[in-house]
Structure 1
Amino acid sequence: MSITHPSADQSRDVRIGGEIRISRVEDVREDRLDVLWSDGGRSQYWAHWIRLRATAAGLFTGVARNWSDGANFHPQQRLVSESDRIERAHTAGGGAYLVVTWRDGTSDRLAAPDIWSAEHDDPARRIERKTWSSTKTWPSWDFGPLIEDPSREVLLAFLTFYLEHGVALISNVPRRVDSLARVAGGIAALAPSHLGDAFDIRTTDNPKHIGEVAAGIPLHIDLVYRQFPPSVQALHAINQIEDGGENELVDIHHILGQMAPEDIELLSTIPVDFVARSTSVHFRGRHPVLQFDLDGNFTGVAYNQYKISFPPSVPPAYYFAFERFRRMIHAPENVNRMRIPQDAVLVFDNRRTLHGRRSFRDTSRHVIGCFLSDDDLRSRYRLLAEAASGGQLA
């Protein structure tokens, strides 16, 4: 990257690698303009944002240059000015640059990949979710090239599949109680909970959590009663049984496509309580059952019929929407049933995938579970995706 410092008689030149090109600039107004990209896409940019993007680059020098990952303004700079009015704009260098001339007579020259990256520079956000139902079969990744003697290509393929589907399977994991920690270390940082770094899931005469019983467990997400439930969960089958104990998985991203818009509206705008109370803990989380970010993207589900508590303010229509949701998640065509293979680790998105378990009689069944950092997992994916594209914008 080369940067020239801004001055009244010199265009500011911000260059980064990439082959992103601008086809043309359209609808140029004093406060905004439209860019038509070489791939046919269109973006609108406000004048103040363009000014900030261009001016800040020349201000980041010394220590600030190393700290300014993704920043588009410098602490020394004024955010807005009445002089930030566009006089005209055009492309240069065969679409490699956007050149904006301002009403005060100055001009800015920004590399097309630089402004494009402001919207598209997160490869994890560009992952297209792939929905699944009862008929989905799951491929597996071998422990050796994924964890023991890791291959960047194998890990990228695994993380890509996980981010697409919210579920991924690792096979041939050594039958040791510490193997799950090795798997976790190769994928993302551990996210300890009140259950510890890892926790046993096997029957006991004095169960401390529902996983330690042989009875069936209804669909839920784990730790829904926390203010920030964990996003990634892993389960290692240390000793699997042949009859019963199958896991049941439901893809809520698939369920959303079956729901009426008014039901989604109710379940995403009205929060309910989830409570875990015993002699040792008292957790309370308040969440909408369906959660979306400010861009309208689905971010998670909150559901556990044993922990949910409806506030008195919940309107009658909510209960009917909730009941329709319950029927959908339990419909046989939506429930994917699998028994985690012996010596395999199942990794799944605890915020996207409801999971449950069928009852069993053979109490030798032994599974170890843990939670992982979603932020760390996505960080590793971004680094691998960027390396695979040669550091260019993918």
Structure 2
Amino acid sequence: MSTALDVHVGELTEQGHTLLRGIATDEEAAEALRAFGELVPQYDGSLRYQVKAAPGFEERRYSKSVNTILVHTEAPGWNPTPSYLALHCRVQATCGSGHTELADMRQFVASLGEQDRAALYEREIEWLGHNTGGVGTEGVRRPVVERTESGREILRFSYNLLTTGQYDPPVDASVDPVELPLGSFGIHLAEQAEAFFRENKVSVLIPEDSILVWDNQRMVHARSAYRDAKRHLTRYWVAAQR
């Protein structure tokens, strides 16, 4: 007979994401997530990061704003990147928005023409470090799709970095393509990824006392804009045992 963990592991393998329900506290969240691997420190060195609107970020595409956040994987400048990303909903937005949106990047890569697809494996990008507390890496140079020695593929992506040269740009940011990591090709790639994402995304309004877990080395994610500033999620990074 399959256990609840087997079901969640199966969903992560088959669809890239799963939802854990009935988890009310930080301690319960940590215990549940350790079934998938080791909790690892985030940008500021903490195991938990509070995703909640805060003053000072009104004009930025950032986790502490209420603005739309465009497609990306978490911590592409880290090596390794987090295996799984998890969001524990403490207070759900009541405005009918603030969804977490997911799509399978492997399907996107497979949908590309031969020349564009080859470029994702061959053209390297300087993925910037993105640390607020001096913890972690200073960035890495990798292609969008990295093949490891074991044959696994790790995907890194950031619409913002490819189109503005920043991870968390102002809402109205623009830049000369020659200054971007992949130049005009990066903009072309980002626009294709965004179009694919809008056609194929899964949109989840995470229930309170539930955790959405997804494969960060496979899935891209985004967030819809919202108005209810009481919305509160706690984010975790998980390193899987490979």
Report the TM range for the smaller structure's normalisation.
0.7 to 0.9
Gaps of 5+ in 1: 1-150, 379-394
Change (3 A) 1:306 1:280: farther
Q: Which residues in structure 2 correspond to 1:150-165 (within 5 Å)? A: 153-165=3-15
Q: CA deviation at 1:348?
A: 0.4
Counterpart check, 1:368 vs 2:222: no
Q: CA deviation at 1:254?
A: 1.4
Distance in 2 (CA, whole Å) between partners of 1:227 and 1:186 is 22
Secondary structure at 1:266's aligned position in 2? Answer: helix
Q: Which residues in structure 2 correspond to 1:1-394 (within 5 Å)? A: 153-174=3-24, 176-195=25-44, 196-206=46-56, 210-242=62-94, 243-276=96-129, 280-281=133-134, 283-293=138-148, 299-308=153-162, 309=165, 319-320=184-185, 323-324=188-189, 326-331=191-196, 332-375=198-241
1:165 aligned partner, one-letter code? Q
Q: Contact conserved, 2:126 with 2:181, CA < 8 A, in 1?
A: no
Aligned residues: 222
Distance in 1 (CA, whole Å) between partners of 2:187 and 2:26 is 39
Range that drifts further, 283-292 or 213-222: 283-292
Distance in 1 (CA, whole Å) between partners of 2:116 and 2:208 is 40
Gaps of 5+ in 2: 166-176
Residues 248-303 of structure 1: CA deviation (Å, up to 9, x unaligned): 111112112211122111111111112246875483222211223457x5612211
Secondary structure at 2:206's aligned position in 1? Answer: coil
Q: Contact conserved, 1:162 with 1:168, CA < 8 A, in 2?
A: yes
Secondary structure at 2:34's aligned position in 1? Answer: helix
Distance in 2 (CA, whole Å) between partners of 1:224 and 1:215 is 21
Change (3 A) 1:341 1:194: same
Percent identity of equivalent pairs: 19
Q: CA deviation at 1:321?
A: 7.0
Greater relative contact order structure (CA < 8 Å, 6+ sep): 2
Change (3 A) 1:300 1:178: same
Q: CA deviation at 1:338?
A: 1.7
Larger radius of gyration: 1
2:26 aligned partner, one-letter code? V
Secondary structure at 1:348's aligned position in 2? Answer: strand
Change (3 A) 1:155 1:279: closer
Counterpart of 1:384?
A: none
Residues 165-221 of structure 1: CA deviation (Å, up to 9, x unaligned): 2211111222x23332122223322122333111110011256x9211111111111
Counterpart of 1:52?
A: none
Secondary structure at 1:218's aligned position in 2? Answer: strand
Instruction: State TM-score, norm by structure 1.
Output: 0.50
Q: CA deviation at 1:326?
A: 3.1
Change (3 A) 1:256 1:298: farther
Distance in 2 (CA, whole Å) between partners of 1:234 and 1:315 is 29
Distance in 2 (CA, whole Å) between partners of 1:257 and 1:278 is 32
Distance in 2 (CA, whole Å) between partners of 1:353 and 1:274 is 17
Counterpart of 1:116?
A: none
Question: RMSD across aligned C-alpha pairs, in angstroms?
Answer: 3.0
